[in-house]
Amino acid sequence: MPKHGPRTIAEAEVARREQQPPPACWLCARPLGRRTEWHHPVPKARGGRQTVPVHPICHRTLHATFTNAELARIGDDPPQLRTDARIARFVAWVADKPTDFHAATRQSHAVRLRD
C-alpha cells in the first residue's frame, strides 16, 4: 500500500521544511548558512522590537556603515539601504560568496565620528 503522507508530527515537520526554500538574508538576499545573526532594523536603543535574519558579515557591514540614528530613520526598508553606494557595492561584492563567508569589516571614519 503506498504511503500518502507523513504519519507523525515530526515527519510532517521534516516534509514541510524540505518543501520550503532556505531562509534568505534580509540585506543581501543570499541563503543563510550555519551562522545567522538577528538584526534590529530599528535599533533597540531607538525603540525597535522586530528582528530579521542576516549573515554576520552583512550585520557588521550595516553597523559599520550607519549610525543607530540613521538606521532608525531608514527602518525596515532593505531596498532603501541598498540605494546607499557603500551598501550597493558591498551587496554586489558579497553576492557570489559562500553563505558562511566572513571577512574583516572596517567601520567607516564618518560613522566613528558620528557615534
Residue 54 domain flag? yes
Say yes or no to pLDDT of 114 above 80: no
Helices 56-65 and 85-94 sit at what angle, rounded to 10 degrees?
A: 160
Residue 93 domain flag? yes
Task: Name 100's Cβ contacts closer than 8 Å, sequence gap at least 6.
Answer: 33, 34, 35, 55
Residue range 42-79, pLDDT digits in tens: 999 999 999 999 999 999 999 999 999 999 999 899 99
- Number of domains composing the chain: 1
Residue 2 domain flag? no
Task: Name 33's Cβ contacts closer than 8 Å, sequence gap at least 6.
Answer: 55, 98, 99, 100
Its domain, for residue 77, covers 24-114
DSSP β-bridge partners for residue 53: 38
DSSP β-bridge partners for residue 39: 52
Residue 7 domain flag? no
Which has the higher per-residue pLDDT, 12 or 50?
Answer: 50
Residue 11 domain flag? no
Q: pTM for this one? A: 0.72
